[in-house]
Amino acid sequence: MAATPHVRELFLDADTWAALQRLGEVRLPADGTDVGDEAVLAGLLADADVVVTGWGTAPLTTSVLAAAPRLRLLAHTGASVKPFVTPESFAGGVRVTQAGDAMAYAVGEQALALTLALLHRLHRFDHALRTGADWASAKDAPPRRELRGATVGVVGASRTGRAYLGLVRAFGARVLVADPYLSDAEAVTLGVERVGVDELLARSLVVSLHAPVLPGTVGMIGARELALLPDGALLVNTARSALVDEAALLAALGTGRIDAALDVFDAEPLPVDHPLRRLPNVLLTPHEAAGTVESRRRAGAIVVAEIDRFLRGRPLAHEVRPEQFDRTG
């Protein structure tokens, strides 16, 4: 198991750990070693059939794969496998699975919480009171809005995007979705209107980003796109910071025309002197949208269930195939 003690503690409770051990011999890295070191990973995988990865695990490079001739499955405790999987992995016959489904609801729920906070200007009230504003000044926030009846734009009908849109629809919001892979039939099933990004930005009171980082999505929200947002619009990003031009976002936020809630940043950890920390119209969280106890326990259970399926020769439920790899974040 090529995961740090911290990852093992977060994702594998006692029952899940026991279930994993029943599947075969579980080998852990030696105390004090770093699974982010390719040599350590190669030694750990010398006669392994399956590797469980987590934050900080080294990628399956050519040298690691050469040292792991029996390796046939990588089971990742998170969602994005791109930091760990290489083209050589697939070429060498290593199958890949991940636990992104476990985290979708948690991310969707936090995006909903951020949406509600922005709509009701809770971040502005909190900032004003904490920084010494008098009572009357603290109450002088921009107009507050309700989610019921609001138009919400969702960029990316991903797992997290679908979790979020289901939640906001339950509150009575009208939902627009921009996603080139979403069919009209799927849009009907989801109860949303499929539109282009520009139209979505121009029509939405709230825009929530849920797209993966791909060549076509990097910087997809820049100065031009931000200018399309109506005055008073709200931007929520629990996906990836690379989707947004941070300099353009800072400029737009500096005008006070829009508000934003951000869980992801170009620089992580976010520097203590970063200008985002000082703006009253920004709500910040430290890249923890997926980090609920329940989501991590679900992820651990998914990993163990996938390994069990693999060992029994059954189809994997969460496999990432080579042809899907370029579309994943």
For 275, list phi and psi in degrees, rounded to 5.
-60, -25
Q: Work out the number of other CB atoms within 10 angstroms of the CB of residue 37.
A: 13
Distance between CA atoms of residues 180 and 122, nearest Å: 34
Distance CA 318, CA 99 (A): 7
Q: Are 95 and 316 in contact (CB under 8 A)?
A: yes
Contacts of 170 (CB under 8 A, 6+ apart): none
Residue 58 to residue 70: CA distance in whole angstroms: 18
Distance (Å, whole) CA 111 – CA 261:
9
The whole-angstrom separation of Cα 27 and Cα 90 is: 23
Q: Is 309 helix (H, G, I), strand (E, B) or coil?
A: helix
Place of tokens 């119209």: 281
- Residue 247 has a CB neighbour count (10 Å cut-off) of 11
**Residues annotated as part of the active site:** 240, 268, 287
Cα→Cα distances 55→38, 63, 84, 218, 222, Å = 14, 20, 9, 23, 30
> Which ranges in the chain belong to alpha helices (H)?
5-11, 14-22, 38-44, 62-66, 87-91, 100-119, 122-130, 135-139, 159-170, 184-190, 197-203, 223-228, 246-254, 293-312, 322-325
